[in-house]
Amino acid sequence: MHAEIGDFIVEILQNAVESGGRHIRLDIFQTPDSFEFQIQDNGKGMSQSIQDRALDPFYSDGFKHPGRRVGLGLPFLKQALEAIGGEFTLESTEGMGTQVRAKFPLNHVDTPPVGSLSLTLLTCIAFPGEHELIITRTCSDPAIEYRILRSEILDAAGPLEEPGTLGLIREYVESQEDEHG
């Protein structure tokens, strides 16, 4: 089960990477009352019938995880949001990409905690592959606004496989939260 909102972000972003997305965008908007994220990719996308089935926890395309008969990321996200009066949208076009948007009301007792946003973003940046990830983070209180490009981070920190690289990236992401928060 997803214990934090960050778990949902990681799961959906992993879907974007595994769908073949070469350009992926993660936008995070936060107010005192809500936490919203949107993930958009230019991967393989889904037909309407696949989108409908992708929201069924007992469906898996069999390609992403061979042998698995269930897919839980999107269905659990939608279910969690419905239970707390949140908002969920899934838009996808076959051959063009997918966009997932989730808005959590922070004042609902059953809303999961956000978790460590720095660790969530580090995990997203560290997904292997040749793709660009653009992260934008906006928060109204405290005032936070920054943008991270995966390519710039990797150019500055070096290959993910080298010792210490993930530590450097984590320090940078944490500094963005601290500097702007």
Residues 86 and 104: beta-carbon distance below 8 Å: yes
63-82: pLDDT as tens digits: 544 443 334 689 999 999 99
Query: Looking at the DSSP assignment, which residues form a beta bridge with residue 148?
Result: 135
Q: What is the pLDDT of residue 159?
A: 87
Range with the lowest mean pLDDT among 86-100, 125-139, 148-162? 148-162
Backbone phi and psi for residue 94, each to the nearest 5 degrees, phi listed first: -55, 130
Report how far apart, in Å, the C-alpha atoms of 93 and of each of 12, 60, 64, 134 are.
16, 18, 18, 21
Q: Which domain holds residue 134?
A: 5-180
Q: What is the CATH number of the domain that holds 105?
A: 3.30.565
Region at 85 (left for phi over 0; alpha for psi -120 to 50; beta for the rest): left
10-56: pLDDT as tens digits: 999 999 999 999 999 999 999 999 999 999 999 999 999 888 888 87
Q: How many domains does the structure of the chain reveal?
A: 1
